[in-house]
Structure 1
Amino acid sequence: MQAAARLCATTCPYCGVGCGVDAQLSTDAQGQKYLDGVHGTQNHPANYGRLCIKGSKLPETNGLQGRLLSPTIYGQPTSWQQAIDTAAQGFTQAIQKYGPDSVAIYVSGQLLTEDYYLANKLMKGYIGSANIDTNSRLCMSSAVAGYKRAFGADAMPCCYDDLEQTELLVLVGSNAAWTHPVLYQRMERARAINPALKLVVIDPRKTATAEQADLFLPIKAGTDVALFNGLLAYLAEHQGLDQAFIRQHTQGFAATLDCARDWTVAKVAQLCELDSRDIRLFYRWFCNSPSALSFFSMGVNQSSSGTDKVNAIINCHLASGKIGKPGSGPFSVTGQPNAMGGREVGGLATMLAAHLDIQSERDRQLLQQYWQSPAMVKAPGLPALQLFSQMAKGKIKALWIMGTNPMVSLPDRQLVAQALGQCELVVVSDAVANNDTLAFAHIALPACPWSEKDGTVTNSERRISRQRGFLVPAGQAKPDWQILCEFARAMGFSGFDYAHPSDIFAEYARLTGLANQGQRALDISGLAGLTQRQYEQLSPIQWPVNSHNPQGCKRLFSDGHFYTQSGRANFVPLTYQPPKQLTSEAFPWVLNSGRVRDQWHSMTRTGTAPELLQHQDRPWLAMHPEDAAVMGLQEGQLVKLRSKCSGEAQVMLQIKLESSQRRGELFAPMHWNQQFCSHGAIGALFAAVGDPLSFQPELKHAAVAVLPQHFSQYAILLCRNTLSAVQLNQLSQYWLRLPLAGGQCYLLAGKDRPDWQGMLSDWLGAEQGLGRSGQHTGYVALHGQALHWAWQISELPWPVLPSAWLQSMLDNDALDDTELSAWLRAQPPASFMQGRQVCSCFKVHEQAICQAINDGHNSVQKLGKYLGCGTGCGSCKPELAKLVSSQQPASASRLALETQAAIIFQEAI
């Protein structure tokens, strides 16, 4: 190995924060460059050198394992020419026979802006259909609809600096400590600099973020409109209105206030199930604070009334004049790296590129003339939910899915499977070889991942950054823009002869300034003349970038001008609407969904890094202990979940007792799927219902039933091989895969008693084996003195075995009798019983933290100095603070539970 060859400044491919990343490249013995390490870019204004744990583990998730490296047709390798020609022919034939609306493209917020632009140009200007939508529909389309309704444009008014300049920070439906930890670090720093800054967290769950709040409002799920209508009424009654701003810069206030007046504190408290004193305190803080920033995310957007929730928040900012000023505004933070870039170029079926209006004949003609295209859409296309619904009815004959996994991310998994199963042609371009969606692909096209593609992304504060490809594409993989160009040319279209992403960017940038004259918020015409070299060197910059803002623009609406016809912002009268998926006698539980700290979407990347599973290694169902006691459920017990739409789909999760959970409500993480768990894909439980304006699905409120599950035997299988889903389904009725370095750990549960040892011996082979039987059975198959595979079987549910111990078994080439005996007795050595890993950056476990607190290191800062925890990405700080604040550390109880479970398991021998 040689020393690092160079650093490449690029952008993180995960959430919408848009962190700058310095990729450290080294060269191997064959002269090939590889990613040797990453660091946060010190001068990038989004993160100033900070990275979360997912970003810091990019090298571990960037290997060739699991990559799709060549095109396939019906699973058989083929040439690019054949694959493209076959796909183009299928689309062409469908269009000729059924019309342009019989085909569709479903894209992703992980595409680069240049890719996104070409996909929309192809569909809307050449094929002539608006049936192109994006998984960002699931993320931020309610924010888009709310901004457009209020401001006349999809224009996010705030910037990250506002986090450090506000006097009141209100987080609504956002667990930023886990989902956007780099921004949460900025919030913490702001509070340290300004002790007067108040933090309010509004969320049905007491999340890691809520643990640090000055005021936590555990709102009843779905009632946000009532809460903010009540705030508007309070502002009017307590001299909290900015009358001059309302008079000069807004319209519709009187009608909006009339709708809100009835929402007294008492009425809000009753509906939202909140303490009236807490509501008054929140209202008083918002009313009296000179600045306020409302930071909202999926808990607001993913709702059947998501747009109304967004406008309820905006109404309060307009009424109080807290917008367009430092530290003030309604701040929508996105979940994907280029959700904002997709919005810019028309990534949704309901818009055109460059914020042109799909409903405007003038705008459609303007765009068609600019593109010199043969066809132009005349109406919006099918948003994601409707797209798959119409596909299930046979209306969509050909579909191209780019860089997303709708079988996991969309609601009503049964419907999605039906739609994909009967679509005549499904083309999937992705970087991975296997996911739940690729199982339905007729044609699979190998696309470049983050490290191999070049272009731009736009983060949540409208900041455009360069994502620079620094590795040669592996195998036959190609960047998405090249695949789109080849596909378009194979369909017989001209206008797709680009030599470099800079050419695409220049065309798009020019379009943003076309016939604009300040009429559209999005304008980056100031970047249209960049040479390729200047494009390569482009520094992060916030739009608009034009003659009026040549260096970009931090905040919008500072001058009180909005993008409506009148130039005034619109107040929106709102009435509370309950969620569409309501509980009943048959389905009495409310299910909420969301992310866990160290995982990303459907785990196609993060799931390959064992270290990212140390914090949360399995799917679970959070339930209040009192609810669990009523049902007779125990921590770790498997339960089955059903909903009205789930049909034959099976969802099984382990119970996790959380006193922070609201009674009658449940929470489950969204990430797990059939690549990692037989029954962990929770999308099956959510109905395909959405907001009538944004078409964003209601993914935060399902009505479900909970059914206890009992199995006759449970097994832990540790092996170097990866078993197929077919093999695992033969072994058990339930399985979970826990990836390790150089192997896998499987948790299995079954109601019958197959010959597990015989089946595993046939599949995996073994030179010699050691076993122990009884109520508990253990077995180790060896190659020499190294573990080849091993299992433990018991009638009791699985203990929580330390992953470090499992990894040590795989790493050790010469297991001694003590280590073999420990496995056969299911008794991890005491040195491994450290509890759950809390700090992923420095691998600090619960036991060490608890001991340090008892030894006097009783603050987050002291723990950081002593153990290092909390000094990396910082996302563990809320958990550290929770441990510190407890007289008996919260983790001690869980550690005791794990130890007790291991003892019980051992006593069964």
Structure 2
Amino acid sequence: MKTTCPYCGVGCGVEIKAPDQLVSGDLQHPANFGRLCVKGSALGETLSHEGRLLWPQIHGERVSMDEALDHVAQGLRDIIDKHGPQAVAFYGSGQLLTEDYYTANKLMKGFIGAANIDTNSRLCMASAVVGYKRAFGADAVPCCYEDIEQADMVVLVGSNAAWAHPVAWQRLVQAKTDRPEMQLVVIDPRRTASCDIADLHLALQPGSDSALFAGLLNWLNENEAVDETMLPHLANVETTLEACKAWDLATVAVACQLSEHAILSFWQRFAAQPRVLTLWCMGINQSQTGSDNNNAIINAHLLSGKIGYAGAGPFSLTGQPNAMGGREVGGLANQLAAHMGFSAVEVDRVSRFWNSPHVARQPGLTAVNLFNAINRGEVKAVWIMGTNPAVSMPEGNRVAQALARCELVVVSEVSARSDTADLADVLLPAQGWGEKNGTVTNSERRISRQRSFIAPAGEAKPDWWLLAQVAQRLGYTEAFAWQHPSEIFAEHAALSGFENHGRRAFDISALAHITREQYDQLAPVQWPLNDRAPTGTARLFADRRFFHVDGKARLLPPAIPVKTLTSSHYPLLMNTGRIRDQWHTMTRTGNVPRLMQHYDEPFVALHPHDAAAHGLSQGDLTRVQSALGWWSGRVVIDSGLMRGQLFIPMHWTRQFSAQANVDGLVAAHCCPDSGQPALKQTAVRLQPLRPAWQGWLFLPEVITPQPVLYWSRAPQQGAQRYVLAGEAQAADWLMQLPTMQELQWQQARAGQQLHMLGWRNGRLMCAFYAAPWLPEIDHGFVARAFTETPSSPQQRHVLLGGRPALGESQGRTICSCFGVGEVAIRRAIEQGCDSPAALGAALKCGTNCGSCIPELKNLLATLRVAQ
């Protein structure tokens, strides 16, 4: 069975082999040609029903599916009748399939009659959408992944692709290996894993990207690096170039806090190479000038003519598996459907196609405004689908408070518990990966199939089915009478071509009459896909014809960078982002032990000087505080950061840690053009956390440890492992947990260290190791004891020590694909392995997804210095 990975926007093909559901990369899929990252490789480990929402609930009580759907429909009807359609909203996700998205959009905008449907794609791709639409007249990514191999130079901006898009990154690594003359420029305030093979790294001031690219445009113009043949195809050239004159080399150097030499080196390389591909992601988009940042990059490609042919172009990398599909159907509040907006002509067209007189006539509430409206009581019902806004939205605590007071909160989810699901009035069990059947569109406009290959968990249903059932209960039976997702897809394809005539970029009308059998066999294909391009389209704008009415592309004047102000009270600048092995708010990856090995608790990365200035060392606990709240986690020293800056990953939630929701610290400042929040720059301060004791707690079940200063949970094979920090006596704290008094205890004290094992009927039920510092134990050894119970007194005594009698701990996991730890890697280096290739031959590390190779290189360099 061939399907598609549900993680990032690379859209890798996956092959499932029965009967054991073994996961491997699809060798024929054009996005990955068999490669998978560690998250994709571990997909088979996410198919358990553990933690799944298995049946509908109303106010925490199990009900029948009919009762739940009746309750939702009646609640929506009552609110609409009393307050009007604007009092209702939907909030979707790039995790939804296109068919789900289409159904939600059609119901809200077409029949309820309000445009209040937005999506978590607002948090990652909205600024790219605005940038493309302003420049090209359409939300049309012009490039494809093949351009990575074809480029003479790749510019990576605001993206740690090595961790966030590992398979696309490996294509780049392989291309540079095959053609060492290929150049890579990384533009990022942090020195990340993506700098590993860079020819030039520009560690610019956060938020100054638009200045750098405005300066590039000015420099291209002043140094005869303009493609004169492109000028007839461009509008607004003179105005834009005049505005860019202010950004000379010296001014840009001050704004970006870079040397003039480094900036000039980048500009000269850009001009000299005929095939330049610029890849960017959240560092560009999640900004108060996010839309303008996008246009600053696109400007440079348009004026230099580096667009429309192999190896060249501006290429935004989508963060989610179907962020592009959501954009196609109108999943954003400022879109209507099929790349149409809210002009009278477009509203009339969609109204006739859907045969509905109630089509929304103006844009709806974008994400931040939507939750603000809920908080004010203006939106009284919200249906949240496959996402966790109480964690992922800026000012997350306020979002949670808004949901808590909302009249009707419906959540369709796969997880029984999430920060958002805990606030729901109605929970609807949605199908997850492996159960769902539909399509997704990746970063390069490629539509791929997600196919179902396992039976749904419990009473889980497709999101489109749940929506259609509610629509029918609201009286819209005929418009939502589909029996199979292929029928929805065919309708979506027909709408894309309806009265299009080549004026809209998104057109898959060649699939408007697709049968169920053809849908089941649909191979990955890139749009446009119509009579003029019956087999799809790899690249756009080869003819230099764009989608504005006059056929020209637009240059736009640059923005003035917005600098986040620090102060004596909040002297540091916080950046947020992803780590290698986790995904969004961890509802899927957080339950896979293998994916919790690389970083298993929330952390803050600090420059060594900043750590020392605050009295912090590697592994210490600290609190990070902004004007909106505080966060707690462990210190990681990172010399790749600039002084005065810190980095915290976005993933941890209240399900996994006590106070680690980092977006709760971020103010809801947005790009005024896209409504995308600026999640990358927040002024904060540090406060060391000095507990009386720290420890490890292993239990067979999930609990919420209280009261402690700090806790974080990570699943292990056989047990749940908690890292803790507290103020009271450790033993007293442990014994107040439920059921602890019922156990038979074995304990050992050595100085200030306390080790305790709790038994019931010869079975291990609790393991606890505490000291004024964090004890060193072998986590895997202890966790296995919950399924392989030690039988002899000697074995139990060894377990009480927390380490096996023979052997040693593997240390921190470096290679998650093969579970290779730092201890083994260091030993192999000491025994003569002198390169990542040699380590891969000896230990297999780095030979699958390759994401750990930068860390292998760092270990090699560190040990060479030590020797």
* TM-score normalised per structure 1: 0.93
Q: Which residue among 762, 765, 769 is the counterpart of 1:788?
A: 765
Deviation string 1:79-127 (CA, Å, 9 cap, x unpaired) is 1111111111111111111110001000000000011001000000100
Q: Name the CA shift for 1:178/1:660 in 2 (closer, same or farther; >3 Å).
A: same
Q: What's 1:518 paired with?
A: 502
Q: What's 1:162 paired with?
A: 147
1:401–1:426 contact (8 Å) kept in structure 2: yes
Q: What's 1:334 paired with?
A: 318
Question: Structure 2 counterpart of 1:233, which letter?
Answer: N
Q: Name the CA shift for 1:655/1:216 in 2 (closer, same or farther; >3 Å).
A: same
Q: Which residue among 253, 258, 261 is the counterpart of 2:237?
A: 253
d(CA) in 1 for partners of 2:658, 2:338: 43
2:790–2:796 contact (8 Å) kept in structure 1: no
Q: Name the CA shift for 1:528/1:764 in 2 (closer, same or farther; >3 Å).
A: farther
Q: What's 2:473 paired with?
A: 490
Q: What's 2:558 paired with?
A: 574
2:782–2:803 contact (8 Å) kept in structure 1: no
Q: What's 2:67 paired with?
A: 82
Q: What's 2:842 paired with?
A: 866
2:778–2:802 contact (8 Å) kept in structure 1: no
Q: Which residue among 87, 95, 106 is the counterpart of 1:121?
A: 106
Q: Name the CA shift for 1:761/1:462 in 2 (closer, same or farther; >3 Å).
A: closer
How does 1:738-749 map onto structure 2 within 5 Å? 738-749=714-725
d(CA) in 1 for partners of 2:791, 2:679: 48
Q: Tell me whether 1:850 sits opposite 2:826 in the alignment.
A: yes
Structure 2 residues not aligned, in runs of 5+:
none
Secondary structure, counterpart of 2:411 in structure 1: strand
Q: What's 1:841 paired with?
A: 817
Q: What's 1:38 paired with?
A: 23
Q: Name the CA shift for 1:424/1:763 in 2 (closer, same or farther; >3 Å).
A: farther
Q: What's 1:449 paired with?
A: 432
Q: Tell me whether 1:759 sits opposite 2:725 in the alignment.
A: no
Q: Tell me whether 1:100 sits opposite 2:85 in the alignment.
A: yes
Give 1:772 shift: 3.0
Q: What's 1:668 paired with?
A: 648
d(CA) in 2 for partners of 1:855, 1:667: 35
Secondary structure, counterpart of 1:263 in structure 2: coil
Q: Name the CA shift for 1:887/1:278 in 2 (closer, same or farther; >3 Å).
A: farther
Question: Structure 2 counterpart of 1:140, which letter?
Answer: M
d(CA) in 2 for partners of 1:575, 1:59: 46
d(CA) in 1 for partners of 2:713, 2:671: 35
1:259–1:575 contact (8 Å) kept in structure 2: no
Q: What's 1:807 paired with?
A: 783
Q: Name the CA shift for 1:659/1:542 in 2 (closer, same or farther; >3 Å).
A: same
Give 1:870 shift: 1.2
Give 1:869 shift: 1.2
Q: Tell me whether 1:298 sits opposite 2:282 in the alignment.
A: yes
Q: What's 1:417 paired with?
A: 400
Give 1:834 shift: 2.6
Question: Structure 2 counterpart of 1:269, which letter?
Answer: A
Question: Structure 2 counterpart of 1:733, which letter?
Answer: L
Q: What's 1:682 paired with?
A: 662
Give 1:223 shift: 0.4
Q: Name the CA shift for 1:643/1:71 in 2 (closer, same or farther; >3 Å).
A: same
1:466–1:538 contact (8 Å) kept in structure 2: yes
Q: What's 1:9 paired with?
A: 2
Q: Which residue among 111, 117, 130 is the counterpart of 1:145?
A: 130
1:222–1:578 contact (8 Å) kept in structure 2: yes
Question: Structure 2 counterpart of 1:154, which letter?
Answer: D
Deviation string 1:339-382 (CA, Å, 9 cap, x unpaired) is 00000000000001111112x10000100110011401111000
Q: Tell me whether 1:645 sits opposite 2:628 in the alignment.
A: yes
d(CA) in 2 for partners of 1:888, 1:676: 38
Q: Which residue among 358, 374, 389 is the counterpart of 2:372?
A: 389
Secondary structure, counterpart of 2:765 in structure 1: strand
d(CA) in 2 for partners of 1:828, 1:142: 53
Q: Tell me whether 1:355 sits opposite 2:339 in the alignment.
A: yes
2:716–2:780 contact (8 Å) kept in structure 1: no
Q: Tell me whether 1:365 sits opposite 2:348 in the alignment.
A: yes
| Deviates further, 554-563 or 273-282 | 273-282
2:412–2:429 contact (8 Å) kept in structure 1: yes
Deviation string 1:709-746 (CA, Å, 9 cap, x unpaired) is 211122211122222x2xx123x232111211221111
Question: Structure 1 counterpart of 2:260, which letter?
Answer: S
d(CA) in 2 for partners of 1:499, 1:574: 49
Deviation string 1:494-549 (CA, Å, 9 cap, x unpaired) is 31000110100111101111111110000000111111101110000000000110
Secondary structure, counterpart of 1:518 in structure 2: coil
Q: What's 1:703 paired with?
A: 683
d(CA) in 1 for partners of 2:717, 2:831: 34
Give 1:806 shift: 3.0
2:25–2:33 contact (8 Å) kept in structure 1: yes
Q: Tell me whether 1:226 sits opposite 2:219 in the alignment.
A: no
2:782–2:802 contact (8 Å) kept in structure 1: no
Q: What's 1:54 paired with?
A: 39
Deviation string 1:186-243 (CA, Å, 9 cap, x unpaired) is 0011111211100111111100111221111111111000111111112112221101
* TM-score normalised per structure 2: 0.97
Q: Name the CA shift for 1:829/1:452 in 2 (closer, same or farther; >3 Å).
A: same
Q: Tell me whether 1:558 sits opposite 2:535 in the alignment.
A: no
1:448–1:477 contact (8 Å) kept in structure 2: yes
Q: What's 1:832 paired with?
A: 808
The percent identity for this pair of structures is: 48
d(CA) in 2 for partners of 1:609, 1:79: 30
Give 1:656 shift: 0.9
| Deviates further, 471-480 or 130-139 | 471-480
How does 1:240-639 map onto structure 2 within 5 Å? 240-246=225-231, 248-358=232-342, 360-494=343-477, 495-579=479-563, 581-639=564-622
Q: Name the CA shift for 1:379/1:889 in 2 (closer, same or farther; >3 Å).
A: farther
Q: Name the CA shift for 1:887/1:610 in 2 (closer, same or farther; >3 Å).
A: closer
d(CA) in 1 for partners of 2:777, 2:292: 46
Deviation string 1:819-859 (CA, Å, 9 cap, x unpaired) is 54455445565723332111111121222222323333212
2:702–2:720 contact (8 Å) kept in structure 1: yes
| Deviates further, 613-622 or 765-774 | 765-774
1:801–1:828 contact (8 Å) kept in structure 2: no
RMSD: 1.6
Deviation string 1:152-192 (CA, Å, 9 cap, x unpaired) is 00000000000000000000011111111100110011111
Q: What's 2:752 paired with?
A: 775
d(CA) in 1 for partners of 2:224, 2:805: 65
d(CA) in 1 for partners of 2:96, 2:111: 20
Q: Tell me whether 1:193 sits opposite 2:178 in the alignment.
A: yes
Secondary structure, counterpart of 1:567 in structure 2: coil
Secondary structure, counterpart of 2:434 in structure 1: helix
Q: Name the CA shift for 1:756/1:644 in 2 (closer, same or farther; >3 Å).
A: closer
Question: Structure 1 counterpart of 2:849, which letter?
Answer: C
d(CA) in 2 for partners of 1:10, 1:487: 29
Structure 1 residues not aligned, in runs of 5+:
1-7, 27-34, 893-909
| Deviates further, 133-142 or 743-752 | 743-752
d(CA) in 2 for partners of 1:829, 1:227: 58
d(CA) in 1 for partners of 2:351, 2:233: 34
Q: Which residue among 14, 30, 41 is the counterpart of 1:21?
A: 14
Give 1:758 shift: 2.4
